[in-house]
């Protein structure tokens, strides 16, 4: 990490806030050892016990990426019965589709593929490009979460299994991106730059996300990869040997848009190279040497042929020209905070959670 993260800080020993934060995570939330196995077995046994009379004991979102794919394999081997959901937002690579089919077939899972209304998704993606904000993946990411909750409620499932993990995502610069759950931010951006009414696109509100689903419907989010030794290279090798999984060669290769946004849009428009936190996470989790990470950073994010192909594909799919796509990228940069957002509500919630934890020992979302 470097000062492209404008909030980065270094202590008197030259250690940055990201490494300190990761160390705190490591001590309190990351257990790649026997202690993790014990904790995970306890959690999974509780899931099985509480769901013994149900067809499914948990819900698992499967994108086709390595994290969710490896989680799907481990869940199968550990004997859970998940309902597997794939949300198709219109940007799947052919390889992602193939990998999903291979995993589902090997694990004999029941898969529901929900295809998002493309005209509405297209309108949202264009609105975000016109807004010129950093996190262009919010239209996809938000609908993924919204539909996972929807399917959990409709199938009476209380446990969501997430592939999110500390080992590969523990370093995350707050100054670069914005929460994909901020429904107020989504609505304000779309109000200013959208061009049609959203009828099918389900926006999950602050109340629903933090109160309705976790409290009224008692839905808990669990990140099992935080309780096991999760090494990206080893996971890909195991998936390849057992399932026939094929590596994407670049992060988020399962989504054509996400790959383009992270490897072209962010560096060109905001000077953000997301390889920095990705590689920093792997260094902190002892999967990669710092010297090797520096060598990786010398490589080009994209080769020119990839850039040209993806720009043409994305522009055509969005119904615009490549020139207009480049114009959006070159327009004024805006921060998410310049639009209405739920920050004050989130900060109040966190203060309340901390008070309850410190005063009464109440732990909310303790499994996540």
For 73-98, what is the mean pLDDT?
Answer: 95
CB 211 within 8 A of CB 233: no
The domains located in the chain, with CATH, are 17-360 (3.40.50.620)
pLDDT at residue 226 greater than cutoff 80: yes
Kindly report which listed range (76-90, 250-264, 330-344) carries the lowest average pLDDT score: 250-264
| Range 92-96 average pLDDT | 91
Summarised one tens digit per residue, pLDDT across range 170-190 is 998 988 889 999 999 999 999
Give the contacts of 7 (CB within 8 A, at least 6 positions apart).
17, 173, 174, 175
Q: Beta strand 82-88 with 110-115: parallel, antiparallel or unpaired? A: parallel
Residue 367 has a pLDDT of 46
pLDDT at 11: 94
User: In angstroms, what CA-CA distances link 253 with 64, 66, 91, 96, 172?
Assistant: 9, 10, 10, 8, 20
pLDDT, residue 359, reads: 65
Q: How many CA atoms lie within 13 A of 168 on its CB side?
A: 19
Beta bridge partners of 220: 159
pLDDT-based confidence at 248, cuts 50/70/90? confident
pLDDT of residue 237 exceeding 50? yes
pLDDT for the residue numbered 366: 47
Query: Residues 301-337: pLDDT tens digits?
Result: 888 888 899 999 999 999 999 999 999 999 999 999 9
Q: Is 221 left (phi over 0), alpha (psi -120 to 50) or beta?
A: beta
pLDDT in the model for residue 368: 47
DSSP assignments along 74-134, one per residue: HHHHTT--EEEEEEE-S-B-HHHHHHHHHHHHHHT-EEEEEEP-HHHHHHHHHHHHHHT-S
Per-residue model confidence as pLDDT tens digits over 142-161 = 999 999 999 999 999 999 99
Does 364 have pLDDT greater than 70? no
- CA-to-CA separations, 135 to 42, 83, 153, 191, 289, in angstroms, rounded: 36, 29, 28, 17, 29
Return the higher-pLDDT residue of 290 and 27. 290
What is the torsional sign of CA 134, 293, 284, 60?
positive
pTM value > 0.75: yes
Sheet with 220-222: strands ordered across: 110-115, 82-88, 58-61, 159-161, 220-222
């Amino acid at each position: 990490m470097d000062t492209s993260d404008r909030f980065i800080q270094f202590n008197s020993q030259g250690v940055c806030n990201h490494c300190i934060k990761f160390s705190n995570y490591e001590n309190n939330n990351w257990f790649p050892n026997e202690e993790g196995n014990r904790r995970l077995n306890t959690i999974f046994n509780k899931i099985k016990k509480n769901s013994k009379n149900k067809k499914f004991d948990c819900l698992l979102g499967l994108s086709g990426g390595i994290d969710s794919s490896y989680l799907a394999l481990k869940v199968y081997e550990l004997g859970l019965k998940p309902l597997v959901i794939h949300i198709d937002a219109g940007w799947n690579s052919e390889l992602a589709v193939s990998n999903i089919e291979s995993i589902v077939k090997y694990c004999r899972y029941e898969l529901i593929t929900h295809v998002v209304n493309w005209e509405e998704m297209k309108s949202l993606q264009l609105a975000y490009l016109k807004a010129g904000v950093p996190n262009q993946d919010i239209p996809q990411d938000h609908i993924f979460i919204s539909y996972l909750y929807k399917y959990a409620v409709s199938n009476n499932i209380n446990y969501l299994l997430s592939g999110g993990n500390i080992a590969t995502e523990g370093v995350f610069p707050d100054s670069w991106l914005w929460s994909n759950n901020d429904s107020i931010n989504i609505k304000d951006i779309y109000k200013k730059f959208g061009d049609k009414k959203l009828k099918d696109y389900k926006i999950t509100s602050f109340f629903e996300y933090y109160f309705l689903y976790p409290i009224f419907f008692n839905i808990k989010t669990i990140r099992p990869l935080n309780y096991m030794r999760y090494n990206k290279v080893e996971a890909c090798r195991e998936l390849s040997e057992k399932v026939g999984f094929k590596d994407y060669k670049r992060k988020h290769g399962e989504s054509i848009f996400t790959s383009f946004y992270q490897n072209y849009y962010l560096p060109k428009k905001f000077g953000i190279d997301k390889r920095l936190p990705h590689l920093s996470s792997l260094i902190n989790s002892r999967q990669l040497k710092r010297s090797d990470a520096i060598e990786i950073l010398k490589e080009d994010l994209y080769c020119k042929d990839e850039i040209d192909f993806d720009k043409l594909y994305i522009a055509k799919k969005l119904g615009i020209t490549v020139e207009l796509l480049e114009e959006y990228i070159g327009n004024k940069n805006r921060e998410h905070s310049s639009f209405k957002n739920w920050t004050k509500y989130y900060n109040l919630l966190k203060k309340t959670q901390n008070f309850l934890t410190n005063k009464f020992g109440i732990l909310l979302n303790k499994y996540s």
